[in-house]
């Protein structure tokens, strides 16, 4: 089976995370947008990266997100993906990419809080889950 380009979407009431996962597993784009801009931003990413499938988280805000994406990207299949533990895994990925320095090294990882939203990392987790489940 050919490896797909996947758009991961972590839906939410006020903001949504989006990450495009390339066929080789590399992150091609990552964004956090207001929920009302989700459909338009998803359409831009689908067009720019020739996205084959959309991995949509199955919890908070997924119905509204699904409707917005369907309106803007009617030809791209949307697959619901289990969001369990995505926040924990997203935080882990964040700290891998942005390792702490100085005194922060003494603070246990579980106690560290990223300085901003990490919905885009949660979207990456969703895209990776869809890729794994599709193989």
Q: Which pTM value belongs to this model?
A: 0.94
Q: Which pLDDT value is given to residue 90?
A: 96
| Number of Cβ atoms within 10 Å of the Cβ of 110 | 8
| Number of Cβ atoms within 10 Å of the Cβ of 63 | 10
Q: Which pLDDT value is given to residue 135?
A: 77
The one-digit pLDDT tens for each residue of the chain (135 residues) are 467 999 999 999 999 999 999 999 999 999 999 999 999 999 999 999 999 999 999 999 999 999 999 999 999 999 999 999 999 999 999 999 999 999 988 998 888 899 999 999 999 999 999 999 987
Give the three-state DSSP class for 53: strand
Per the CB < 8 A criterion, the answer to whether 41 and 18 are in contact is yes
Q: Which pLDDT value is given to residue 2?
A: 61
Q: Which pLDDT value is given to residue 1?
A: 45
Phi, psi of 52 (to 5 degrees): -95, -30
Q: Which pLDDT value is given to residue 134?
A: 86
Spatial distance between the Cα atoms of 92 and 98, rounded to a whole number of angstroms: 10
Cβ within 8 Å of residue 35, ≥6 positions away: 11, 12, 13, 14, 15, 16, 61, 64, 65
Tell me, what DSSP letter sits at residue 121? H
Q: Which pLDDT value is given to residue 110?
A: 81
Please give the CATH superfamily to which domain 6-134 belongs: YqgF/RNase H-like domain (3.30.420.140)
Spatial distance between the Cα atoms of 18 and 100, rounded to a whole number of angstroms: 24
């Amino acid at each position: 089976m050919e490896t797909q380009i996947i758009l991961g979407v972590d839906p939410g009431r006020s903001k949504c995370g989006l990450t495009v996962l390339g066929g080789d597993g590399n992150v091609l784009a990552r964004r956090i947008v207001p929920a009302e801009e989700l459909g338009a931003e998803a359409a831009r990413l689908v067009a720019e990266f020739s996205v084959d499938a959309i991995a949509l988280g199955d919890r908070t805000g997924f119905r509204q997100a699904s409707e917005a994406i369907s309106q803007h990207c009617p030809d791209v299949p949307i697959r619901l993906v289990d969001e369990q533990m995505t926040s924990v895994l997203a935080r882990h990925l964040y700290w891998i990419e942005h390792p702490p320095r100085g005194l922060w090294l003494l603070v246990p990882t579980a106690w560290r809080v990223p300085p901003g939203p990490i919905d885009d990392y949660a979207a990456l987790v969703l895209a990776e889950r869809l890729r794994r489940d599709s193989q």
